[in-house]
Amino acid sequence: MTDPLGPAELAAMSDLIPPMALRAAATLRLADLLTAGPLDLETLADKAGADSDALGRLMRYLVARRIFAQEETGYTLGESGHWLLDDAPGGLRRWLDLDGFGGHMDRAFIELLGTVKAGGPVAAGNKTSLEPKAAASYDELMEIRAVQEAPLLAKALDWSRFEHVVDVGGGTGAQLVGLLEAHPHLRGTLVDLPISAPAAPERFQTGGLAERTEVLAGDLFELELPSADVFVFRYLLHSFEDDAAADALRRAADKRRAGGAVLVIESAETAPVAFASMDLLMLVLGHGRERTLAEYDVLAQAAGLTRAAIHQPAIGPRVLEYS
C-alpha cells in the first residue's frame, strides 16, 4: 500500500502554472524560434507576436524550470526545451498547442465540475462538432500516433490470413499505409467522416498504394460497410457510449467473411491513473468512455463476437481479436 498524499502533494497536483506555462510556450512556438540561436527579449517577443514585458515574465518562469536558458546574448533552448520543437518525436508541441485539438481538450476540463453535476457536458466535443482548424489538428495528432504504432501493429499478429482490411475511423490513412507497406498482399478500405477521409487518397497515391486502396467517406452508422476479412477499430470505440459501440461492432461482424476477425485496439486496463485520466477526458468531451477488457468482451458478445486472442505489440496498446 502506498503512503497517502499529504497537503503538499495535493497542492502540487492542483498547481495550474506549469501546464499553462508550457502550453503558452508551445502555442507561441518559442522553442522553434530559438533553434537558430539566442534571441533577446524584444526580438523574441516580436517574432512570437507577444508583449515583451509579459513574455519576459513567462520566460523567467520557464528558465527557472529549465525549459529554456538565459545567456548574455539572449534566451536559448534548454535541454528539455527541445521536446517543444514542432518536429520533436511524439509531437508534444502540437498536443500542447492551445489553438489546436489539444487546447480544445484542455478547455473542456474547465467545465469538469458542471459536467459531473449534470452527468455530461453542455456540448459534446467529438470531431463532428469541432471547428475546422481543431478538426484538422485532431487528424494531425492522430496521424502522429498512427505513424509510430502502425509498424508495430503490422508485426503484432499474423496478417497473412487476411486479404482485405477495413480501417474503420482510419482518419487520413496513416495506419492503413503502414499496414499495406508491411504486407504487400493486403488491400484496404478506409472508412471515416467526410471531414477526414478526403485527405487519404493523396496519401495513398504518394505511397504508391492507390490501386490497393479505396476510401468510404460518411457516417459509420449510415454507411454500408464492404465485405472484408478483417475490420480494425483503433482508438474509436472509446469515443462511443455502449449502445453505439456495440452497433459499430455488429456492423463489422455482419460484413466479416468466414475466418475473418474484428480487431479492437484500445488502451484497456492500462495503469490506473492513465486509465482514469483518459476516462475523464471521454467524460468532458461527452461522447464515450474507457472500458476494461471484460467490458469490451461484453460489447463484442452483444455484437455476436467472441474474443479469440490478445496480441501485445512491443510498444503501444494491445490488440483484442474477436471472431
Task: Report the chain's C-alpha Rg in angstroms.
Answer: 22
Written as nine digits, the cell of 308 is: 479469440
Nearest 5°: CA angle at 181, between 177 and 187? 70
Active-site choice (104, 164, 183, 238): 238
Q: How far apart are CA 3 and CA 30, in angstroms?
A: 39
Written as nine digits, the cell of 206 is: 504518394
Going by DSSP bridges, is the β-strand pair 307-311/256-265 parallel, antiparallel, or unpaired? unpaired
Q: How far apart are CA 245 and CA 280, in angstroms?
A: 18
Written as nine digits, the cell of 54 is: 509579459
Q: Which residue has the cell 481543431?
A: 134
Angle between helices 17-28 and 52-64 (to 10 degrees): 120
- Whether 183 sits among the annotated catalytic residues: the reply is no
**Whole-Å CA distances, 207 to 20, 82, 164, 202:** 39, 30, 18, 9
Are residues 44 and 115 in contact, defined by beta-carbon separation less than 8 angstroms?
no
Catalytic positions, written as ranges? 238
